[in-house]
Amino acid sequence: MALNPDFLRADFPILAREVNGKPLAYLDNAASTQHPRVVIEAVAEFYRAHYANVRRGIYTLSEEATAAYESARDKVAAFVHAPDRRGVVFTRNTTESINLVAYAWGRANVERGDRIVVTEMEHHSNLVPWQLLARQVGAELAFVSVTGDGVLDLESLDRLLEGPVRLVAFTHLSNVLGTLNPAQEIVARAHAAGALALVDAAQSVPRLPVDAGALDCDFLAFSGHKMCGPTGIGVLYGRPQLLEEMPPFLTGGGMIRRVGRTEASWDDLPWKFEAGTPAIAEAVGLGAAVDYLSAVGMDVLWAHEQALTAYALERLAEVPGVCVIGPPQPPPQAGGRLSQPSSHAGERSSVPPPHAGGRGGVIAFIVESIHPHDLAQVLDGEGVAIRAGLHCAQPLHERLGLMATARASVYLYNTRQEIDRLVEGIRTAQRLFLGG
């Protein structure tokens, strides 16, 4: 069953607007995605009719708000096939989820001389927290290398795993290269070496079926705003036993069981890690986003993205002077096994495993002799929104010898016509800056 973006687009009010007199072609979905009406309405309706603080009030509104908040947790848990809802912690975003692990788990478990392994393709959010931890406790930070094709060199992982490794933290799908890493394989190797595994799933959970149970990872982090949900709500899935053993991250109201004058004890999971009034309406909005994506079907969404990515790579290859960074092709199986009709949440066995070794619809590229900023500016004049710069991945750009890149990233509502407009806009920029 193929996804028809023309039909879906009507669900997203913002896609009807114009930018600089042209229809909006929004191709910055790796940064943040747009919102379907059902999500906007769910947040508005929650504020209109059910809002109160959660988990403390002995009155109808607070009970309704609590039920809505906790129901959102259940939806998120089912969406990523989390084996235990107690492990689903609401945070602000992926960055906060990773910081939670770096502070609460890291400070209690990583010691001088230990090794933390990341990769050369990490977003700063899965790098800087580990830099700080390593510096603070005297641990070593080591990097799995990236090949010229933009994939991980797993042999370098094996070499790094021979030391005293405590954690392997890696991105599931690169926010620059689009590379889909073999997460299950990496987790298994980390575990075999006695290390824990953290998966930065900020780009993968929005784009393909992700099964936290099948991945067998210890931590999985992602954000609501990259999957049709509101800003200010993110998720950390952690293995409940680990979360039980960890000290809390932020402390104060909401996360305590009993507070004395000089000491306190912590609430049960997951609330132990949700200090202060949480982002209640945003969680409700994320629940609505998960419902929306599930109704579309993540396998259908992924197949659409694979097909559109293949089309974009083909079209970009036609333009002289354009060079795409990252793996050249989506996996050959795209459109086959992964495009089966959507399964019902909960039937874990029916979720196809994400195909590793391919790429998602995050496409970084450079245009010869045109700075990405200037390209993005000209494209904006054509109503086409892309990202330009380092995409919060400066070490990766340095590794690949790139000053900066342009990045187009697609999502379920993008069309081939929008890719055509991207290509046309690149040609317009070439005429403007290079003449001819």
Partner 1 sequence: MESLYREHILDHYRHPRNQGTLDDADISYQLDNEVCGDVVRLDVRLRDGRVSEARFSGHGCVISTASASMLTEEILGKTVDELKALRDEDVFKMLGITLQPVRARCGLLPLRVLQGGLAHLEETS
Task: Enumerate binding residues for partner 1 (CB under 8 A).
Answer: 20, 371-374, 377-378, 380-381, 388-390, 394, 397, 402-404, 432-433
Would you say 86 or 397 has its CB closer to partner 1? 397
Angle between helices 280-296 and 298-317 (to 10 degrees): 80
Closest approach of partner 1 to the CB of residue 404, in Å: 4
Phi, psi of 280 (to 5 degrees): -70, -55
Are 360 and 309 spatial neighbours (Cβ–Cβ below 8 Å)? yes
Which of residues 63 and 374 has its CB atom nearest to partner 1 in the complex? 374
Q: What is the CA radius of gyration of the chain?
A: 22
Q: Is the Cβ of residue 304 or residue 391 nearer to partner 1 in the bound state?
A: 391
CA nearest neighbour of 11 among 28, 31, 29, 34: 34
Which of these, 190, 191, 200, 240, lies nearest to 220 by C-alpha position? 200
- Nearest residue (CB) to partner 1, 1 versus 432: 432
- Closest by CA position to 118, among listed 166, 170, 195: 170
Q: Quick one: which of 212, 208, 185, 144 has its CA closest to 362?
A: 208
Look up residue 349 and give its DSSP letter: G
Least spacing, CB of residue 361 vs partner 1, in Å: 23
Q: How far is the CB of 372 from partner 1 (least distance, A)?
A: 7
**Residue written as token pair 């992982």:** 157
Q: Clarify whether 323 is annotated catalytic.
A: no
Beta-carbon-side half-sphere exposure of residue 239 (alpha carbons within 13 Å): 15
Interacting residues of 304 by C-beta distance below 8 A, sequence separation 6+: 2, 3, 5, 412
Tell me how far, at minimum, the Cβ of 148 lies from partner 1, in Å.
20
Helix extents (H) in 127-270:
128-137, 154-160, 183-192, 212-215, 240-245
In a 10 Å sphere around its CB, with 0-12 CB exposed, 13-18 middle and 19+ buried, how is residue 312 labelled? buried
Instruction: Identify the active-site residue in 217, 228, 323, 392.
Output: 392
Closest to partner 1 by CB, 61 vs 432, is 432
Between 36 and 372, whose beta carbon lies closer to partner 1? 372
Residue 134 Cβ, how far from partner 1 at the closest point, in Å?
Answer: 21
At closest approach, how far in Å is the CB of 432 from partner 1?
Answer: 6
User: Cβ 390 to partner 1, closest distance in Å?
Assistant: 5
Decide: 39 and 228 in contact? Cβ < 8 Å: yes
Of 147 and 377, CB closest to partner 1: 377
254 in helix, strand or coil? coil
- The burial of 83, by beta-carbon neighbours within 10 Å (0-12 exposed, 13-18 middle, 19 or more buried), is given as middle
* Alpha helices (runs of H) in 205-344, residue ranges in sequence order: 212-215, 240-245, 280-296, 298-317
Decide: residue 149, CB within 10 A, 0-12 exposed, 13-18 middle, 19+ buried. Answer: exposed
Which is nearer to partner 1, 107 or 371 (by Cβ)?
A: 371
The catalytic site residues sit at 392
